[in-house]
Structure 1
Amino acid sequence: MSDTLTVQDVWKAFMETDRRMKETDQRMKETDQRLQESDRQFQETKRFLREMFAETDRRMKETDRKLDRLGGRLGEFVEGLVAPACKNLFAQWGIPVHQVSRRVEADQPGGRHMEIDLFVVNTDAVALVEVKSKLSVEDVREHLERLAEFKAFFPRYADCRAYGAVAAMVIDENVRRFAIHQGLFVIEQAGETLRMANEADFVPRCW
């Protein structure tokens, strides 16, 4: 066999190279189109996710607002149940009740503010009742801080014995124990009525 290249051989090689280059170019164009399509789909996906997250965030904020409104109404409902029961509940502990007021507020210089959910009063003693639908340890701690500052906000009761109480429809056992250990009265639901959860030998803390 002769190794001599003819013009025909060179032409055929050239045509084959040209064909392969055209195929490569076509594949590169197809790849570029696919990349552009992928980028378009990626951008659409990003836009869709942004819109979805924005809508989810809007709905969550709306839900939070509804829960806040519901929580406020539920709190008022629980206060409405606890307030009329305070007279008998505290009388059982030798604390006569002359008046029960709801949402008693006071201000101090510097923008300091105090609000008492239920304010139980007689001639020489007062009780501050914090009311929640479900009581937490943090709620108890905040009420203890409120009790510590009470007479600074309400100096007219400086000579009165001040007691603390927490009331809720739902109170976990660990929260109940914590509140009682801190010297607070604990008012809880018992069937269709309310009761003091404190044992007979309980000694309330006096502020």
Structure 2
Amino acid sequence: MVTDEELKEIVASIAVEHRELVVAQKETDRQLKETDHQLKETDRQLKAQTKETDRQLKAQAVEAEHDRREMKKSNRELGKQIGGLANKFGSFTEGLALPSMQQILRSQFNMEVVSPSVRVKKGDEELEIDVLSYANGTLNEVYVVEVKSHLRDEGVDQLSDIVNRFRHFFPEHKDKKLYGIMAAVEMSNRLKERVLSKGFYAAKISDEVFSIDVPAQFQPKAY
């Protein structure tokens, strides 16, 4: 049989355990609340970071698009500058060739008329000649001169095209013998041989003056 003293001890022990349980429960609740707060804070930070990342990505996309447009614009400008430079250099070469070429055509070939930069149009067709020169009378010859800074195969083809189409654009010269002259600042040996094989005169530059550069046995072709 439990004595009163033992009963008091049991009740006191239960009371202590209850208080400890209440304290432990409160600590658990506090920890849960703290954990919940930390989770909410972490979620808030993640959302903020995601939002900032999205903002940065959008800003980078806008900047990349701007850079792309600027580069495209710069490329267009560069293309214009390169084209302009090429035109200027071409004009410079033609201008360099003209005085000495006039002298060659008049003194060596006895030409009466020397005309630079001749452009003619018939319907939808056009023909452009760097230098056109001719003589009437007993000589009755015409020369077309193509001027290049750096001669390529396309330049030789261009001169061939000019002489082949010439009489269509200049019927008034249909009875004249037609000759071609290729004048270039730089002309490789291979291209020079190709020029000569077509019966065209080759002209080279030395000390800013063009001169005819053909072998002694060269026979020009009259087109």
TM-score, L = length of structure 1: 0.77
SS of alignment partner, residue 149 of structure 2: strand
Q: Which of 57, 70, 73 in structure 2 is aligned with 1:58?
A: 73
Q: Which of 166, 179, 182 in structure 1 is aligned with 2:195?
A: 179
SS of alignment partner, residue 179 of structure 1: helix
Deviations 1:156-189 (A, max 9, x none): 1111121222223233444434333333222221
Q: CA RMSD for the aligned pairs?
A: 2.9
Q: Which has the larger radius of gyration?
A: 2
Q: Cα distance, 1:127 vs. partner?
A: 1.5
* Corresponding residue for residue 117 of structure 1: 130
Counterpart check, 1:104 vs 2:156: no
Amino acid aligned to 2:143: A
Are the counterparts in 2 of residues 86 and 100 from structure 1 also a CA contact under 8 Å?
no
SS of alignment partner, residue 204 of structure 1: coil
Question: Unaligned regions of 5+ residues in structure 2, if any?
Answer: 1-20
Quote the sequence identity (%): 22
Deviations 1:134-176 (A, max 9, x none): 3322222222222211111111111112122222323344443
Q: Which of 194, 202, 205 in structure 1 is aligned with 2:218?
A: 202
Deviations 1:90-124 (A, max 9, x none): 578x6332221011122122x11111110021232
Alignment of 1:1-207 (within 5 A): 19-90=34-105, 95-109=109-123, 111-123=124-136, 124-207=140-223
Question: Unaligned regions of 5+ residues in structure 1, if any?
Answer: 1-5
Structure (1 or 2) with the greater helix fraction: 2
Distance 1:44 1:205, change over 3 A: farther
SS of alignment partner, residue 36 of structure 1: helix
Distance 1:155 1:38, change over 3 A: same
SS of alignment partner, residue 55 of structure 1: helix
* Corresponding residue for residue 3 of structure 1: none
Partners in 1 of 2:31 and 2:125 — Cα distance?
Answer: 89
Number of residue-to-residue matches in the alignment: 200
Distance 1:188 1:8, change over 3 A: farther
Q: Cα distance, 1:22 vs. partner?
A: 4.3
Deviations 1:51-107 (A, max 9, x none): 233233333333433443443343333223222222554578x63322210111221
* Corresponding residue for residue 6 of structure 2: none
TM-score, L = length of structure 2: 0.72
Distance 1:129 1:24, change over 3 A: farther
Higher alpha-carbon deviation: 180-189 or 153-162:
180-189
Are the counterparts in 2 of residues 132 and 167 from structure 1 also a CA contact under 8 Å?
yes
